[in-house]
Structure formats: structure tokens, C-alpha cells
A and B are shown apart, each in its own frame.
Chain A
Amino acid sequence: MRITLTVNGRDHALDVEPRRVLADVLREDCRLTGTHLGCEQGVCGACTVLVDGEAVRSCLLLAVQCDGRAIRTVEGLAGPDGTPHPLQRAFSAEHALQCGFCTPGFLMLAAGALESDPAIAADPERVRALVGSNLCRCTGYEPIHRAILRAASE
């Protein structure tokens, strides 16, 4: 099927099989390998991207379902001149990553939440519930939690 994905502001005209999920198409067809695939069953959240501003699991969404939609991946966070996004600076400052495998998913999860509802940062319990969406198996959730609060206050 012929589809157009607008990824980080750039149109990608693609011909994809319906069975291919968004994560695979982003990685293999758009060559944007910042989006990671961990469990491929919606649990780990490493593949989280924004579709029309909303954080979703790109392993549980068909690419053909995203025809004409605006998609934002971790590659779209930094500014055009490469300036890191406030979340990226905060993750670095708070040591919110070690191996980094889960980081793109956490960044997009947090970006979606802070952009759609900045008030979430005023409620640490809601941020706690939010970071519970994704799995991190080395850094731990506290630094990630702190980083999201730090980014929100910048």
C-alpha cells in the first residue's frame, strides 16, 4: 500500500505491506533507528513515538494506519542546529540513562505528556504513573522521574 508518513516534519512516501508495524517502517524504510524495539508486544515501551502529538507504542500500530499522520521520533527532539531538547539535557544532568536502550521511549513518552498537558509536572504522582508505562532495567526510575520534573521546570 502506498502511504505518506510525515516524520519529524519530513514527508516519506512509502510502499508498505499492511502487516508491517510503524516501528519497523520507521527503522527500516525511513532509516530512523533511534526508535528501539524491545519486546514487540506493547510492554516495554522502547518503541514509544508520538503520532499526532500522542505517545503510542509503535509496535502495536500498523504503518498503514498512520498514512497522512504526523509522527515524531527521538530524532525529532533536538533543534535544527542540534541543540538538545530540554528533556535530553535533563536526562543527561540527572543520569537518567545508563545503557540507553529504553531512553528513546522514555523521552518520547515524557515529551508527549509534557507537551499535551504541562500541568502533569505539578503532580509527582502522575509523573510516577507515567514513567510506569515503560520498562527500564538498569538505571531505575528515580533519575528518570527527576529528569522529567527538571525538564518541565526549565
Chain B
Amino acid sequence: MKLPAFDYLAPSTVPEAVDALADPGRRAEVLAGGQSLLLDMRLGRAGPGLLVDVNGVGGLDQVRVRDGALEVGALARHRVFESPAAAPGPLGRLLALTVVHIAHPPIRARGTVVGSLAWAHPASEWCAVALALDAAIELRGAAGARTVAAGDYFHGAHATARVPGELITAVRLPLLGPATGVAFVEHRRTEFCFAQVAVAAALTVRDGVIAEARIGLANCADRPLRAHAAERSLAGAEAGPPVAGRRPPPEHPFARAGRIAAERDARPVPEPYADPEYRRHVIAVLVGRALCQASADLAAHTGHDRPGGDRP
């Protein structure tokens, strides 16, 4: 279907964009990458009266480290993160492992990380990563600027704490310390499908013991999730040697965490090709696999990362 008619504004500053979005009578939407918004408009799922194109707003494409976090501006395209050098240390590796699961190169050249957070699809890879990392979402509206923690941001499928008229100016992803291993694994039916299940994992190990586990789940509920119960089951566990093969033995803490994520954290909804029972099985397998890979990633990088997580 061709796009319905709308008004179009291309402001050049954030205040101008916020002013344009503040018009209550016009159902304004922000156009950044447009790779989901224009699709939704074609399918009749979105029908804004006004598109505020922020692609000409200076400075929004910045990606920089500030106060212990990677600040990703609203116009930073997915593609930027294909290089692990886009962020220091394990965070750069995690983002690079994640981004290859997002659509394909021409979409990644236009689509944005912040746009994924704004769209808030339950299967979104970036949303799962944002939750796992305790990201902070920076919003600007007519009433001023505010920051929302990722944990308070997702309210359901395509439902977030962002109110009409607000622009997400950036997302802040806290850096990961050097003793952290990362992984991102995804299962989907074909190369063109959304994730049936995807798992982001970061394991921090001190003195052979798991000091902190972070697990984000995509498409395991009506919204992206953090696997808090599975994370708690890992804290204090012996990290042990990297697991040979792709699946940990059933009594291994990683396998147990997978089962806990599937039974206690996930709330899978029925979908074509994947009923909840099947999805719980996949979640258990993928969480276990992601933790094995995070552990292997840590082993592969220990001794190479300089203390303090300097830029590689």
C-alpha cells in the first residue's frame, strides 16, 4: 500500500523538533531511520498527521563515551556497531554480536538503535540489550528533559514510558568492566524472520566466581524482558572452565539458569510456529548457550583487555 498523506517538517535543532512534536492536534511521529515507521504506515498500523524528520538535526548521530557509559544519539545507525571498536571493551563486542541479527545491511544502514527502543517490538534485539545493561533512555519534551531507566521503560508490545510529543535524544549504555564475557544468540525460522527467541548475556567473573550475570530476553513475553531470576541463580556460582560444545550438562549452573529463565522469567505468548511450550524449551537452550558463549568470550579476551576497559 502507498503511504497515506501527512505533513512533513525537517527541523535542524532538538528544540525545533520538540516544538514540532508538541502540536497535540496532529498525531506527530519522529522519523529517524524510518525502517519500521514507514513500514507501519504502509500497513496502516501508523497514520501520523505530521512526520518530524530529525535526520537533519546536528549532533544526534554522536556515539561517545561519557561518565562510564556509551551515549548513543538518536541518529546512530545500527551499522555503526558492526565494528566492535565502536564501544570500548566487552560492550563493543556485545553490540557487534547483537547487530548482525538485526535485519540486513541496507536496513542497518538506515535504521537506528534509538528507533528500535522507540518502536519497542517484543522481539527487538536492542531492547533486550538495553534491559540487560540497565540502559538509561534520555527523553526531551515540551516539559523538559528526563531520563527513564530501561527497567521502567517497556510497558508492553510497542508501549513505552515515552509520552506523545517526546523525542528520545539518546540512550546511555553503561560500559562493561574488563572481566566480563558477552554473548548474543538468536533463533529464527529464516534469515528474514524476526527472532523467535533471542538472548543477550554478560557475565562478570571475579576470582573464578560469577560476580554478576546480566541476561536480556527478546520475544519471550509481550515485551522485552530481563531474566532476573536466572541472573540471581548465577550470582556466586563457580564460573568453572569453558563448557565444551554448545550445550552445558543438565546440572551445570548455566543449564539451570536456562531452565529458570524459561520457567520463571519468560511469559511467552502463543505465536504462529511457536507455542509457549516450544518457546520455553528454546529459551532454556538459548540461555544456556548464551552463558557458555559469554564464558568462552571472557576466556578468549582475558589478558588481552587492558584494565579499566580501555578502548581496544
Contacts and interface: CB of A to CB of B under 8 A. Distances in A.
Q: Report the contact-size class of chain A (Cβ under 8 Å from the partner).
A: 20 to 34
Given A19-B6, A129-B100, A62 B38 contact: yes
A100 interface: no
Given A55-B105, A55-B106, A21 B38 contact: yes
Interface stretch (A7-15, A41-49, A86-94): A41-49
Nearest to B37: A60
Interface string A1-32: 10000000000000001111100100000000
A54 to B, nearest CB: 5
A139 interface: no
| Consensus secondary structure, chain B interface | loop
B42 to A, nearest CB: 6
Contact of A65 (B2, B4, B53, B100): B53
B100 A41 contact: no
B109 A60 contact: no
B34 A60 contact: yes
B100 to A, nearest CB: 7
Interface string A127-142: 0011011110000000
Interface string B232-261: 000000000000000000000000000000
A132 to B, nearest CB: 5
Nearest to A57: B106
Interface residues of B, number: 29
A19 B110 contact: no
A142 to B, nearest CB: 15
Contacts of B42: 40-41
Given A45-B106, A57-B107, 8 more contacts: A18-B8, A21-B3, A48-B106, A56-B109, A60-B107, A64-B8, A65-B31, A65-B53
B107 A42 contact: yes
A132 B110 contact: no
Nearest to A44: B192
B7 A18 contact: yes
